[in-house]
Structure 1
Amino acid sequence: MPDSQDSDVLIVGAGPAALFAIFQLGLYGLRCHVIDGLDRAGGQCVVLYPDKPIYDVPGFPEINGSELIERLLRQAAPFEPLFTFGCAVVDLTSDAGGEWLARLDDGSQARGDYVVLASGLGLFNLPPDGSAADADLGAGPISDWPLERSRGAIVVDPGTFETSRPGLFAIGDACDYPGKVKLILSAFHEAALATQEIRRRAAGGKKSPVEYTTASRRIRESLGRT
């Protein structure tokens, strides 16, 4: 990949929370760059339980991890996210203007106006010439970043899912707050609320109405539904 790629939102991790965040952010015209250490999207779903039935995803009496990821990717596809696989984010810095710079372990860089940490329980490490099925889970570089933590996760404001650093958000298993429940459906809720805060800021803090997929012609057109 080039030395630096720009996007509206950098997302660290490519599990269910990250993939739904792509969709939610895309509804408001925000393009995402997703970075993950695995060789494909899916996180825990493709490593730990690709064929295991999941019974508590709303609307699906039963769905396995691989199928859930396939559907989330299909849902996000209209917004043309950029994916970088096989790389870990080793450092994040922000400049005076609030833009974020992510430094990757392959020496490349990525920039974004906001960052969403959807890094799950840690970093899955790929063995040489291995695939996602052979990955092992480690703490990863994020564990050393100077962020407020609780119960092994990053503390966030439960109204916005912003961390102790402005412009840096965390969702899914990566975050903690009072009443946190570690379920996939909770991660979807967290992605939606983080999106609302990011889109407000992207609009310069101006009041802008929430748009609904059932009523917004603009959104239907962006999804290829006219």
Structure 2
Amino acid sequence: MTQPTAPIETDALVIGAGPVGLFAVFELGLLELRAQLVDTLPQVGGQCTELYADKPIYDVPGIPVTTGRALVDQLMRQAAPFAPGLHLGQLLATLQREADGRWRATTDHGTSFLARVVFIAAGAGAFVPRSITLDGLDRHLGSQAAYQLDDAASVAGRQVVILGDEDAALEQAIALAEAASQGPARVTLVHRRDAFRADEATVARFQALRAQGALHFVAGQPSALLEDAAGRLLALDLATPEGGSVRLPLDALLIRMGLSPRLGPISHWGLQLERKQLVVETAGFQTQAPGIFAVGDIITYPGKRKLLLCGFHEATLAAFAAAAHVRPGQPVHLQYTTTSPRLHQLLGVASPPR
């Protein structure tokens, strides 16, 4: 039996690695609070990179136009001096208060934390992959079926069927078809109709490879999985739009049908909810639980607007309130990054001459 690992002790545990969570790490760092960051997605960015990674964003102050991906890259650079611990691809499953007032949290991967304060910046909730109802699918998840492919070399030269019509599905098909150096897989994309919701440039690349015969497309709805006597996945049956059926042999099935936000374990932590959003006060964006703050799209209060700039404002005020909670009785001074030598030291930049 393996021994449980010791919890990671930190000033702040930030739940959600979207733009608001990343900016919260920065603001906490300026106030000299160390942070650990947890997200269910395997990369930072949250909704920004999942829903509009390459689409234009026009309402970030001082930046006439950017993209979700570019904004997240900049926020990561901004938070880099504070070296937050990143724990990606993990769902925060439990949260409970300890006798000393700290919060003990554990992920579904067994990572545990002891935090003085908790920041919930989970957007619309934890993003989980959209699945499909097929008898026997659960038996193959983690072996021949998956929601994400981490190693393209593992399917080199094999028959891969991909379900989906969004950017993630088409980009996966393109990547596998173009992986000639590793031996390209035989890739077939499946969707109910021959039309896609992906970015125009991605669709154009997919159609070009399709025209070359480098990958394939079949319109249909998955209806059944075929297994051999040993229980190994052999094929996927489809019901076609014309009322017929098609059987696709496969070695691997990738389900890339997008992500769906769910409130998940947050709903079981005893925090006040209103229409699946956390209720906070607006002086420091604290929930009714002392030491648990919430910012961004996950919260509600009179006048709330779901805008990035509002989330950044909320994260700033919550960081100051968190500093007061962590260091009770000590003043929390407002310093400016333009002039403060201490902030320049924290950021690793040179102070201008006086």
TM-score (norm 1): 0.94
Q: CA deviation at 1:90?
A: 0.8
* DSSP 3-state at the match of 2:271: coil
Counterparts in 2 of 1:207-218, with a 5 A limit?
A: 207-218=331-342
Q: CA deviation at 1:2?
A: 4.7
Do the aligned partners of residues 170 and 130 (structure 1) sit closer, same or farther apart at CA in structure 2, a change above 3 Å counting? farther
| RMSD of aligned residue pairs (Cα, Å) | 1.8
Larger displacement relative to structure 2 (202-211 or 116-125): 202-211
Larger displacement relative to structure 2 (204-213 or 132-141): 132-141
Q: Give 2:100's aligned residue.
A: 97
Q: CA deviation at 1:211?
A: 1.3
Q: Give 2:21's aligned residue.
A: 18
Q: CA deviation at 1:188?
A: 0.1
Q: Give a deviation string over 1:117-142, Cα, whole Å, max 9, x none.
A: 00110111255434794451231221
* DSSP 3-state at the match of 1:73: helix
TM-score (norm 2): 0.61
Contact 2:287 2:293 in 1 (8 A): yes
Q: Give 2:136's aligned residue.
A: none
Distance 1:203 1:138 in 2: 35
Distance 1:84 1:166 in 2: 24
Q: Give 1:146's aligned residue.
A: 270
Q: Give 1:119's aligned residue.
A: 122
Distance 1:2 1:212 in 2: 39
- Whether 1:182 and 2:201 are equivalent positions in the alignment is no
Counterparts in 2 of 1:1-226, with a 5 A limit?
A: 2-126=5-129, 128-130=147-149, 133=168, 134=256, 135-139=258-262, 140-226=264-350
Structure 2 residue runs without a partner (length 5+): 130-145, 151-166, 169-255
Distance 1:208 1:117 in 2: 22
Higher RCO structure, 1 or 2 (CA under 8 Å, sep 6+)? 1
* DSSP 3-state at the match of 1:48: helix
Determine what percentage of the aligned residue pairs are the same residue: 42
Q: CA deviation at 1:91?
A: 1.0
Distance 2:109 2:6 in 1: 10
